[in-house]
């Protein structure tokens, strides 16, 4: 896997075209905050514990609507709690990368 740059940057607007003024498909935004793709790669290539939920769900226009939640994790199972109430638990399938590192590639 190759990334030309790890940070979004102003300049090329590919693949979006005008009026976009930045290239915004990298692992960190222009302020240096990690994006979802950062946690995806971290779950593959580090030994650090990883649990990242996406997308954010603080959209005022989505109040009362169902939002599909995904996660990147190195744990064997993930349980989603909202206000202390379980919305379900999923077991994760562990796969091994080409360099022998375990990672979770999907929830069963």
Tens digits of per-residue pLDDT, 25-57?
778 888 889 988 888 888 878 888 899 988 887
pLDDT at 57: 74
Residue 105 has pLDDT above 90, yes or no: no
Residue 85 has pLDDT above 90, yes or no: yes
Looking at the chain, the whole-number percentage of residues with pLDDT higher than 70 is 81
User: Secondary structure of the chain in the HEC alphabet?
Assistant: CCCCCCECEECCCCCCCCCCCEECCCCECCCCCECHHHHHHHHHHCCCCCEEEECCCCCHHHCCCCCCCEEEECCCEEEEEECCEEEEEEEEEEEECCCCCEEEEEEC
Residue 81 has pLDDT above 80, yes or no: yes
């Amino acid at each position: 896997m190759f990334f030309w740059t790890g940070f979004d940057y102003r300049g090329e607007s590919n693949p979006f075209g005008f009026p976009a003024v930045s290239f915004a498909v990298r692992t960190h935004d222009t302020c240096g905050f990690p994006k979802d793709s950062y946690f995806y790669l971290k779950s593959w290539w580090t030994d650090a514990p990883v649990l990242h939920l996406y997308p954010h769900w603080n959209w005022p226009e989505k109040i009362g609507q169902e939002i599909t939640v995904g996660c990147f994790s190195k744990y064997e199972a993930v349980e989603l709690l909202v206000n202390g109430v379980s919305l379900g638990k999923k077991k994760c399938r562990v796969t091994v990368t080409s360099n022998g590192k375990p990672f979770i590639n999907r929830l069963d």
